[in-house]
Each structure stands twice: as structure tokens, then as C-alpha cells.
Amino acid sequence: MALLLISPVRNEAAHIERVARAVAAQTRRPDAWVVVDDGSDDGTLEILQDLQDKFPFMTVMSAPPRGDAEGPDRLARAAAPRTFNVGLRAALTANVAFIGKLDGDVELPPEYYEELLRRFDAEPQLGIACGDLVERHGERWQRIRIPSHHVHGALKLYRRECFESIGGVQERLGWDTIDETYARLGGFTTRSFGDLVARHHRAWGSADGQLRGRARHGACAYIARYGPLWVVLRSGKLATVRPFGLSGLAFLYGYVRAAVKRTARVEDEDFRCHVRRELRARLTRRFTSSTAE
């Protein structure tokens, strides 16, 4: 039951050493950990090369340069899944049963992979899973609230059968919603476990600014075929988090901008129907629970 871990990283000099030491401290270490640097200019690669000498299960490599490397929003150009696939092509072998993605700013608790693999073993249809993430706000660590069916893109773990059935990780904006939707469409379950908590040392969606991150997630919703009603409701909910009001407007702007620009969506009728069924079910549950209170 070999575990392959891949980390696409860029400019993580402030965090990567604590992340590496947390991986090394796992009660169930990955059998191989491939860290792929995507053109860091802050010393990340040099730190990684030094760490590689300390951790024999760790391999450091550099992603080949790309012509689209410049621009204000690397996440919108899907740099992370592209870099992830570079590592996957270099390291995937026949005996790998689980494939993990770990960002260079996520610090895991020691039992993370041991416990997560135990849950995969107990639930044969579990296809993609993760723990929860907390981020520092002042002196406190606060949880990033996500639905239990959603899996954070920063620390996904895939069962190989599921990974292959969905065609792997797509190199496009919204990849981390598309993959789990295809997994559920294929009969797998996807889940985040609230009792496995990792520390996220850089605020969610903030690599290129928080409002740009909100707009990016709005565009993801358009690409993944989320309907206007859900988007409006989601915008209203986001308006209640910092920066108040602007977070919701940025999300809505990203969705509308993607629609106006006719951004390429998932062109799969089965996918579209599945997304709409899931959204209707969630809205129905939300309405039912609110009227019952």
C-alpha cells in the first residue's frame, strides 16, 4: 500500500522547513515524497536541496520553465496542478496505491497519514479525502469552514483507482472541484475529516491577494457549472467574512466575468446534470433545516 506524496511549491521559504519536518515526523511516512519547485526566487529551492540530504524519502526537482510563467495570478493559470503532474509523471510506479498532494505551507499533525489511510481501508468507496485546515488570525487558529463532501486542494489524498477513473488532475482553474465531482459521479465518496487538523500557514486564497482569490473562486464556480442561484447565495455568505461585503462582491464578480468572457467550462452533460442534482439537494436540505428551526 505504497503512498506517493507530491508537493508543487513556489516561494515557500518561510514555511517549507516546518512542513518538511512535519512530513518526516509522520507515524506513517510517505514511501516517496517528490517536491517540485516551480521557479521560486526566494531561496525555496536551496532550502529544499539542503533538506533532501536529511530526509532520504524526499526527492527535489525543478519544473521546466513555461512560456506563461509571467502574470499577476499564477493560480488562475493552474500552475499548481501542472507542477503536480510534473512530479507525478516522474515518480508514479505500479505499486503506488495512494497519491497525495501537499502544499508547501501546510503543516500536518504527526498521525495524519496513518489515520487517513486507516479510514480509506475502512471505507472501500472513499475516493478522495483530507483533514481540516486552520489558519492563524491574530493570536488564534481558526478553522476554514468547508462542507464535509469537499476536499481541500492543499492536502488531498486520492485512492489510485479513483484517481485513474477521473482521469487524474486537470490542468485548469477549478481542478480541485472538478476532480471530486467526477469522483462522486463515478460512485466514489469524497470527504473531509474534522478531527484531523493541519495548520495552513498562508491565508486561503491569498497568494495573489484575498479579493483576487475570491474572484478566482467565483470563476471556478462558473467553470464547474454551478448555477446562478447558488452563486448568489454563496456571495451573500461570503459577504459576512473579511473584508466584509467586498468578499461576496469579488466572488460574484469572478463568476460574472467568467460568463461574459465565455471562459471554457466543463463540457460534459453528465457532469453538468450531476452538479445540478447535488446543488438542488443541498439547497433543499438547507431550506428544510431552516424552516424546521
Q: Which residue ranges make up each domain of the chain?
A: 2-200, 210-292
| Least confident range of 84-88, 162-166, 204-208 | 204-208
Q: How confident is the model at residue 135 (pLDDT cuts 50, 70, 90)?
A: very high
Report, as an integer, the average pLDDT of 262-283: 94
| Least confident range of 48-52, 67-71, 156-160 | 67-71
Report, as an integer, the average pLDDT of 50-61: 95
Instruction: Compute the distance between CA of residue 260 and CA of residue 119 in angstroms, rounded to an integer.
Output: 43
pLDDT above 50: residue 69: no
Question: Coil, strand, or helix at residue 134?
Answer: strand
Report, as an integer, the average pLDDT of 277-293: 75
- pLDDT of 35 reads 98
Instruction: Compute the distance between CA of residue 28 and CA of residue 117 in angstroms, rounded to an integer.
Output: 9
CATH of 2-200, one of 1.10.3720.10, 3.90.550.10, 2.40.128.50, 3.50.50.60: 3.90.550.10
